[in-house]
A = this chain, B = another copy of it.
Amino acid sequence: MVAVRARPIVLEPLAAAEPCAHCDARSYSVCNAIEIKDLERLAAMAVSISVEPGRSFIVEGDPAEHFFNVTAGTAKLFKLLPDGRRQITGFAGTGHFLGLAVSSVYAFGAEAVDPMRVCRFSRPKLRAMLDDFPAMETRLLEVASNELVAAQEQMLLLGRKTARERLASFLIARASIPTHCVAQAPGMARTVTLPMTRGDIADYLGLTIETVSRTLTRLKADGLIEIPSNGAIVLRDRAALESVAGGLD
């Protein structure tokens, strides 16, 4: 196992509309602003890439030449301090759009958490596409607005919540991601799958690995969750978790 940090391998350019029309991610993503008849043009500019776990496909500070669209798997997005401290600013799952930045360089890095597939677009080409299809730009603004709201929520978490509240908030938020939970009834999802490590969770919540581990153990002892395996957590008392996440009791 050598040179894992090398650039990901380009697999196939998408020649026809086919791949976009049948893409799993389309219904979640910005692409759904494009009508089927125009999908061919979108497909022509996209390049499908697979990224293996641990490999990074966006490097903070590199020239921002591409946009990405996640079609499978999960990425962690992060910023680093020179001494190695890391803050994960978000996890990008299926349908997530990456690379929004006016600047000429990426403001964050991105690395695959599990086996991923992404669609890659060149910035100038996507810009041209946006000029031709204002609906897509509207959709993009919508996405950006939602992320802004999520970012504000995360600032509240990082600035003002306790470790216990952070973990509860994290689990509740994860439970509402369709891809990553086994839904019983709407809003009643019980089992949350966590593709990322404890270290990733710690860096996302502004804590250490040890505190994450201890806090999960305590939530389990309190009967709020079960931990069947490292990659899964069962929400036993969702109402109580929500109340903890909101800063009550």
Contacts and interface: CB of A to CB of B under 8 A. Distances in A.
Interface in A23-46: none
A142 to B, nearest CB: 5
Interface in A130-170: 130-131, 134, 137-138, 140-142, 144-149, 151-156, 158-161
Interface stretch (A77-85, A182-190, A224-232): A77-85
A86 B144 contact: no
A1 interface: no
B107 A149 contact: yes
Interface stretch (A6-14, A47-55, A98-106, A209-217): A98-106
A124 interface: no
Contacts of A195: none
Nearest to A202: B159
Nearest to A138: B137
Contact of A101 (B140, B145, B158, B248): B145
Contacts of A248: 82-83
A108 interface: yes
A148 B155 contact: no
A87 interface: yes
A66 to B, nearest CB: 15
A87 B159 contact: yes
Most chain B CB atoms below 10 A, which of A138, A140, A160: A160
B89 A246 contact: no
Given A82-B246, A141-B140, A141-B144, A87 B151 contact: no
Contacts of A149: 101-103, 107
Contact of A152 (B79, B138, B246): B79
Contacts of A77: 152
The 10 closest A-B pairs by CB, nearest first: A159-B206, A151-B151, A158-B158, A81-B247, A144-B144, A87-B156, A87-B159, A107-B149, A89-B152, A85-B160
19 contacts: A81-B246, A81-B247, A82-B247, A85-B161, A87-B155, A89-B151, A100-B141, A100-B145, A100-B148, A101-B149, A102-B145, A102-B149, A137-B137, A141-B141, A144-B148, A147-B148, A154-B155, A155-B158, A159-B203
Given A89-B152, A107-B153, 11 more contacts: A79-B155, A81-B247, A83-B247, A83-B248, A85-B247, A101-B145, A107-B149, A107-B152, A134-B134, A144-B144, A155-B155
